[in-house]
Structure 1
Amino acid sequence: MQYDYVIVGGGSAGCVLANRLSENPNNRVCLLEAGPPDNSLFIRIPAGIILLMRSNSRNWRYYTVPQKALNNRQIYIPRGKTLGGSSAVNAMCYTRGHPWDYDHWESLGNPGWGYQDVLPVFKRSEHYEAGEDDFHGTHGRLNVADLRFRHPVSEAFVSAAQEAGYPASDDFNNATQEGVGFYKVTQKDGERCGVARAYLHPALERENLTVMTGALVHRVRFDGRTATGVDVEHQGQVQTLSAGQVILCGGTINSPQLLKLSGVGPRQELEQHGIDVVHDLPGVGENLQDHPDVLVVHQNLKRDTLTLSPWELPTSGLRGVWDFFYRRTGQLTSNVAEAGGFIKSRPEEPIPDLQLHLTAAKLDNHGLNWTFSIGHGYSGHVCILRPKSRGDIRLRDANPRSPALIDPRFLEHEDDMEGMVRGVKAMRGIMAQQALGPWRGNEIFPGSQVQSDDQIRAFLREKCDNIYHPVGTCKMGVDDMAVVDPQLRVHGLENLRVVDASIMPTLIGGNTNAPTVMIAEKAADDILGVA
């Protein structure tokens, strides 16, 4: 089978490219996704994120290797495994990062990626229900809306943050980003509007677009240093698809793994696993970055937050089902992480260095600890935005079905640990304000016994986790460790691109889904020669 473009990975970037590249009926496009279609009811229902976090069919459910700075704990890394990728299983927060982030990318040798270059692409990609302005557009495919449900404790959290001295914000995607408020979400009519719904579904009837789900790519094929197609396992058989261009959109974990399985990466690692070297490219799999995150959790005196209690769930659940299916309102339209924002951990910070999310439920270990979530409470997430720790993605073996070895090296850089200590103190300061008084029960995490900086550090080693924003393992640039150039072409090879969050040279200060859509839109312009 011969295609002009074979796109490996049907996540956020892959769905954008499938739409854009197939707009021209003369382009034959094939999109390959290892997971199933995005036809689960729990994808449509925003609060279904609670169950998708545990899904075996639509979540890769990765774990890191033991993390030295976190008491050798293995950290859960959920990633979307379905059409739409992580946009089908995430909390739908629409944030872009700070303008500084993109100007920094440009300063690293990536012309055309400064903030003034990418802002028009962000605007073009969205339909912003609040209306067009200097930072938002209304003619794009990705619907961005206000939440239809705000829990009272989320409202109180925003008030408490203002009492603590942080500014209010009704849009985290403006020029300053700073402030606390409610997240805009990728929803439409009270349902999730993931990238598959926004970009792929409208293109499915095109005769020149083939979409294959349950399709695991084993390797990219090469003629010399020119990519010619892929070997893909589908319905129990391995077949070869020929392509004029191969575009990897597997994400920060899977794209570098596939490059290495295909013979592109550090020579020593490839030879260790008996893989023939096509191109010795040392940066593949390096430069892994993610946002470390920790929870400050309180009991709730008012008993009105989300709970998995078998005594209360039937009543509250039935009410939520009625509100959602008959009105598209109520708690099931919640993205669970409704309130939050971007703040400075100390006055001398030039831009926000902490991000907050408030969840109206007791959480521990990504909600995987079900028994902990029985009863009422609320949880404040805090993460540092630009960690200095750098990790890597390495092969476990040469089997494409084996998960990669994921090592973010969370908090191994001293500055990251100290930033998180300041973050815990900032979150505690908000939680102590008068606005949250009617809800505030005992602090469960870190707990009243944890007060000194050393005690907070010990708490972080025991409980620090991540908030699902891995990037950087196929970084864009021109230095010796760069994997792709500013047009996202793999250095030293022909007809091969990487287009996903792995190309980010540094982690942006915010949620990564909207930037991934922007990256794919920009790549489509380059591929199609759009000025």
Structure 2
Amino acid sequence: MTIEPVAELGSVGAKPPFRGRYLGGSTTVNGGYFIRARREDFDRWAAAGNPAWAYERMLPFLRAMETDLGFGAGDVHGADGPVLVRRGELEHPAAAAFAAAAQELGFPHEPDKNAQSTPGFGPVPSNTVDGVRLNTGVSYLRAALDRPNLTVVGNSPVIRVVITDGRATGVLVDHGGRHTVVDAGEVVLCAGSFVTPHLLQLSGIGPRADLERLGLPVLKDSFSVGARFSDHPQVLLEWAPRRDLGEPTDSWLGGCLHLSSSDGPHPGDLENLQSLAPMAALAGGTVTVPGAPLAFLVSAQTPRRTGSLRLRSADPATAPRIDYGYLQAPEDRRSLREVVRTTAELTATRAFHEVSRALLGPDPATLADDRALDVWIAGRLGTAHHTCGTAPMGPADDPGTAVDQYGRVHGIAGLRVADTSILPDAPLRGPAATAVLTGELVAHAVRHDLR
């Protein structure tokens, strides 16, 4: 799957339609889904030369950054952190029917998806409380606005990092049409997994051949920047309600089922996320659309690095070329077939039949034929927007890495990355909570000069 170049996508000089150009980044525009990575994700990243990322070492950060309104303080959860986390009650008729259907098919109950228990069905941990999205701008920055060492400047897209004699000394920004250098003792990029590698490449940090082709200086030949990123392929399955089921009360999210592919090495690598609002409503900024179908968003979440991001121009306003590389391997296609077929089984249960007239596709003949189902899926394939690994972390002597475990860019002093660009691959859950965790760890490393 390739995204053809458009000015809005991933550009530092334009306004992307679906990335978070706000205080709080993409926690301002995402689904409010705040699920931790799995223990095996952390331990896999640690084994790749990043020991600070082992689960037991990250758990104190996970606890400290949250106030869990359901489970409170304990060995797993915190009660004093900046991010409020709650779970829906699954009282909406569609959510209750999904819960009953999952039970009818024998899936485990998973009441706390942040507790590393057996994958199954349960409510979605969310940073939306009482219908209000508490993004990181609200959770973190609002409490810090009076600090004398904090200045927030908007409408100033970064053009490149200023690097002098191998050290980052600031950033060049476009402020009101004028190019201005903002000096800094240390620069931390947290523009997200598309814009951060784009900025690194524009600043002379990236694959030598690509930089030289566009006439950019090569300050650090870093093959791994943008070379092989990871994301989750997603497909939308809609179903027709039997009657008006009412509006969701405080979140568009219903239940979430994690199940395991038949031959995958990662338990819970398939996800079925329920929407209680029609897709047409979400796209239009409303709550309901009379007569519109409801949906499941299903995805294969096995960590795979199949995507690439490459510069097309030295002009910062020209977006890079993004190729997700989805479904190239037979096991990837098989995984999506499995989660689509399981969703069809769920909607056919007695429990779900109480609220649903029918799944609107694929039809039974397509479901029964692997090749036909592959074609159906390919025609509806999308992304979960879970991009990771465009500047992956690891030891400096590993050419497949761009930064160390604390986000420090290899070969360039005074420059760090603090977003999901540094994760070696996408976790088995959506990465919003892990993105916040990355910021916590990098901030801790800066304060304590960890190396």
State if a TM-score over 0.5 links the two structures.
Answer: yes
Amino acid at match of 1:108: A
Choose from 263, 270, 275 the match for 1:354: 270
- Asked if 1:198 corresponds to 2:117, the answer is no
In the alignment, what sits opposite 1:221? 162
Distance 1:203 1:477, change over 3 A: same
Query: Which segments of 5 or more consecutive residues in structure 2 lack a partner in the other structure?
Result: 1-10
Once the two structures are TM-superposed, the CA of residue 519 in structure 1 deviates from its matched residue by 1.0
- In structure 2, the residue corresponding to 1:145 is in which secondary structure? strand
Once the two structures are TM-superposed, the CA of residue 177 in structure 1 deviates from its matched residue by 4.8
Once the two structures are TM-superposed, the CA of residue 434 in structure 1 deviates from its matched residue by 1.1
Distance 1:401 1:350, change over 3 A: closer
In the alignment, what sits opposite 2:326? 410
In the alignment, what sits opposite 1:460? 377
Distance 1:530 1:128, change over 3 A: farther
Distance 1:146 1:362, change over 3 A: closer
Choose from 130, 146, 153 the match for 2:87: 146
Query: Which segments of 5 or more consecutive residues in structure 1 lack a partner in the other structure?
Result: 1-32, 36-55, 62-77, 307-330
Amino acid at match of 1:380: F
Distance 1:337 1:441, change over 3 A: same
Choose from 483, 489, 501 the match for 2:408: 489
In the alignment, what sits opposite 1:231? 172
Once the two structures are TM-superposed, the CA of residue 368 in structure 1 deviates from its matched residue by 7.4
- In structure 2, the residue corresponding to 1:416 is in which secondary structure? helix
Choose from 336, 340, 343 the match for 1:424: 340
Moved more, 501-510 or 294-303: 294-303
Once the two structures are TM-superposed, the CA of residue 394 in structure 1 deviates from its matched residue by 1.2
Once the two structures are TM-superposed, the CA of residue 205 in structure 1 deviates from its matched residue by 1.5
Contact in 2 for aligned 1:297/1:446 (Cα 8 Å): no
- In structure 2, the residue corresponding to 1:342 is in which secondary structure? strand
| Ranges of 4+ aligned residues in structure 1 off by more than 4 Å | 347-350, 364-370
Distance 1:34 1:219, change over 3 A: closer
In the alignment, what sits opposite 1:110? 50
Choose from 14, 25, 50 the match for 1:85: 25
- Asked if 1:246 corresponds to 2:246, the answer is no
Q: Deviations over 1:215-267 (max 9, x none)?
A: 10011111121111110111221101111101110110000000011111111
Choose from 309, 314, 324 the match for 1:393: 309
Moved more, 383-392 or 486-495: 383-392
CA RMSD after TM alignment: 2.4
- In structure 1, the residue corresponding to 2:379 is in which secondary structure? helix
Contact in 2 for aligned 1:285/1:392 (Cα 8 Å): yes
Distance 1:251 1:177, change over 3 A: farther
Q: Deviations over 1:44-76 (max 9, x none)?
A: xxxxxxxxxxxx96xx22xxxxxxxxxxxxxxx
- In structure 1, the residue corresponding to 2:111 is in which secondary structure? coil
In the alignment, what sits opposite 1:477? 394
Give me the whole-angstrom Cα distance separating, in 1, the residues matched to 2:209 and 2:138: 42
In the alignment, what sits opposite 1:20? none
Distance 1:506 1:365, change over 3 A: farther
- Asked if 1:173 corresponds to 2:90, the answer is no
Give me the whole-angstrom Cα distance separating, in 2, the residues matched to 1:208 and 1:231: 20
Contact in 1 for aligned 2:90/2:123 (Cα 8 Å): no
In the alignment, what sits opposite 2:37? 97
- In structure 1, the residue corresponding to 2:366 is in which secondary structure? coil
Once the two structures are TM-superposed, the CA of residue 192 in structure 1 deviates from its matched residue by 0.9
Q: TM-score, normalised by structure 2?
A: 0.91
Distance 1:224 1:79, change over 3 A: same
Choose from 420, 438, 445 the match for 1:501: 420
In the alignment, what sits opposite 2:356? 440
Q: TM-score, normalised by structure 1?
A: 0.78
Amino acid at match of 1:344: S
In the alignment, what sits opposite 1:380? 296
Amino acid at match of 1:381: L
In the alignment, what sits opposite 1:320? none
Give me the whole-angstrom Cα distance separating, in 2, the residues matched to 1:490 and 1:191: 36
Give me the whole-angstrom Cα distance separating, in 2, the residues matched to 1:520 and 1:367: 29
Once the two structures are TM-superposed, the CA of residue 196 in structure 1 deviates from its matched residue by 0.6
In the alignment, what sits opposite 1:18? none
Distance 1:177 1:257, change over 3 A: farther
Number of residue-to-residue matches in the alignment:
435
Contact in 2 for aligned 1:302/1:438 (Cα 8 Å): no
Once the two structures are TM-superposed, the CA of residue 400 in structure 1 deviates from its matched residue by 1.3
- In structure 2, the residue corresponding to 1:390 is in which secondary structure? strand
Give me the whole-angstrom Cα distance separating, in 2, the residues matched to 1:357 and 1:293: 10
Q: Deviations over 1:443-490 (max 9, x none)?
A: 212234422111111111101211111111000012211000112111
Contact in 1 for aligned 2:42/2:55 (Cα 8 Å): yes
Distance 1:332 1:505, change over 3 A: same
Q: Deviations over 1:358-403 (max 9, x none)?
A: 1124438984799x96623221121111143511111121111222
Distance 1:350 1:246, change over 3 A: closer
Contact in 2 for aligned 1:171/1:177 (Cα 8 Å): no
Give me the whole-angstrom Cα distance separating, in 1, the residues matched to 2:437 and 2:124: 19
Once the two structures are TM-superposed, the CA of residue 350 in structure 1 deviates from its matched residue by 5.3
Give me the whole-angstrom Cα distance separating, in 2, the residues matched to 1:362 and 1:95: 23
Amino acid at match of 1:356: N
Distance 1:97 1:282, change over 3 A: same
Moved more, 177-186 or 114-123: 177-186
Q: Deviations over 1:261-313 (max 9, x none)?
A: 1111111111111111111111111221111111221111113256xxxxxxx
